Chain A
Amino acid sequence: MTPNASQVLADLAARVAANAAPDVHPAARAGELSLSALLLGLLAQMWDGAAERLTQENRALRALLSEGAGLWGETAQGRWLGELAKGVDADLKISTLEAANAELKVGLIALHAEVERRTDPAAKALEAKIWSELAAGAERRKLAGSPV
């Protein structure tokens, strides 16, 4: 959720307050308030499930990175993925979970490129798992009214 929900909510609060002034042009007020309402509606959908979705995703990504570390073996890349895979989500603040998610995705991108390059069956099997998780992640994040 970027920009961060807290920052956006603070901005919207100020914006709604400014639009309460009587001298705001009606068309400008309508435009600002309708956009603000749209964002609040999106936030309402994302908010409750955000921590659960992130912990699920982080767990799935760590499993992939752990498998990738084994595939890469005793190399710098393998050790890096192995370290990433050892993490746990002890702090459930959304910002902390998102920071961990971003780190894991950096690892996933590197792993994905590596298994694409390789032709051995283990790499191809892991590539298929990565694609499955990318699709599952896109499903988890899908909002009502999503155009796709």
Chain B
Amino acid sequence: MQEAELCARLADYAAARMPDASGVTVREIARITGGASRQTYRFVLTWTDAAGRPAERRLILRRDPADSLIDTERRVEFEAYRAFHGTGVPVPEMLWLEEGAEALGSPFFVAEEISGFQAGTGLLFAPPYVDTLPDLGRRKWTILGEIAAADPDALGLAAHLPAVAPRDCWRRELDHWEAILDSDESEPLPVIRAAIRWLRANPPPPAQKVGVVHGDYRTGNFLYDDKGQIHGILDWEMCHLGDPLEDLGWSFNPVWYFGQGRPGGLLPREAAVAAWEAASGLTAAPEALHWWELFACVKGQAIWVSSARAWLEGANRDPILVYPAWALINAQDRAALKVMGRL
């Protein structure tokens, strides 16, 4: 769909949801590069309100591509954002969810744009941001602890996510991601298969609680400023109920160290665990956390091989799908070897 047509159809869609507005237009639409599972655009919505005053708002459109790195339900992502909006966990406000393909050719949602902050990791390790990394790291793992502490029922989120018993959290996740490896891998993965055998032979204890798991909580998926503050937690598309240690393990995946030698490139591991434990009220028992860190390597590899599969099948030839396959599959193997003490 060409840009002009996308603007027109998006304006029509918004106008139908704003009965008091007239002259609804979409302008300054621009694709944000980097999203491999959704196509993300920023745009400005302008209209005239019921009193005849001109108004505008900066918004984000997240639209499903033909095929993506991660197959997820957009409703899960939408409801997760909506559940945490207005809590201590900063997220953008959700406006509209469209699950049909009629309006824009594929499902999408529209959300508030939180503007003026950074998300990319390229700027983090140079001034002025590099001096804020300890504060940013403490904030990052404190917010993750707050997500772990949240009550999915009280948030209204439990109704949208499949339930799981504390003793079954690990098995459900491992089964899920192993099945994706089975279906999507285009070359055998001896390191990851060995990791899976170890994980099955050495299961973790039951989860201390079944909580909200963000599913992709890492540096690069939040909006930060130059004061070490976080203004938006993004990319909730893999949100589910499960063991809160899963998110902590994922945040410790060595592929997210960015060559800095510490989790997320931000904070020593002990400090990150301390911030998470203080905010969550939970304990990160070393053996249990180790299990989830190795699981994170399996999950990461499943995502990278899915990316290659999506490209190979041809429905989506976005070059961003090739990058994980070429740059991260071996890095993820290396990460798994390190977590297993083999490298």
Measured CB to CB, the residues of A under 8 A from B are: 1-3, 8, 11-12, 15, 25, 27-28, 30-32, 34-36, 38-39, 42-43, 46, 98, 101-102, 105-106, 108-109, 112-113, 116, 130-131, 134-135, 138, 141-143, 145-148
Contacts and interface: CB of A to CB of B under 8 A. Distances in A.
A102 B188 contact: yes
11 contacts: A3-B311, A8-B322, A27-B30, A27-B33, A28-B30, A39-B326, A102-B187, A105-B189, A108-B190, A112-B190, A148-B254
B326 A134 contact: no
B330 interface: yes
A85 B41 CA distance: 52
Nearest to B327: A42
B257 A148 contact: yes
B27 interface: no
B3 interface: yes
B319 A105 contact: no
B298 interface: no
Given A31-B33, A131-B342, A138-B343, A146 B323 contact: no
A13 to B, nearest CB: 12
B162 interface: no
A135 to B, nearest CB: 5
A34 B254 CA distance: 25
A80 B311 CA distance: 33
B172 to A, nearest CB: 23
A43 to B, nearest CB: 8
Interface stretch (B228-236, B271-279, B331-339): B331-339
| Interface residues on chain B, size class | 35 or more
B320 interface: yes
Nearest to A98: B187
| Chain A interface, >50% SS class | helix
A105 B327 contact: no
B320 to A, nearest CB: 6
| Chain B interface, >50% SS class | helix
Contacts of A8: 319, 322
Contacts of A36: 319
Nearest to B330: A141
A143 B327 contact: yes
Contact of B33 (A34, A102, A105, A108): A34
Contacts of A39: 319, 322-323, 326
Interface in B253-283: 254-259
Contacts of B66: none
A148 B331 contact: yes
A113 B343 contact: no
Contacts of A1: 326
Contact of A134 (B3, B191, B335): B191
A145 to B, nearest CB: 8
B176 interface: no
Given A138-B191, A146-B331, 16 more contacts: A2-B325, A11-B317, A39-B322, A42-B323, A43-B326, A101-B187, A105-B187, A108-B188, A109-B188, A113-B197, A134-B194, A134-B342, A138-B337, A148-B332, A148-B334, A148-B338
B190 A143 contact: no
Interface string B152-195: 00000000000000000000000000000000001111110110
A38 B322 CA distance: 10
B308 interface: yes
Given A2-B308, A27-B30, A131-B342, A147 B188 contact: no
A-B residue pairs, 7 tightest by C-beta: A31-B33, A105-B188, A148-B334, A141-B330, A35-B319, A27-B30, A148-B331
A129 B216 CA distance: 35
Residue picked from B190, B257, B312, B330, most chain A C-beta under 10 Å: B190
Contact of B330 (A3, A30, A34, A142): A142
B30 A25 contact: yes
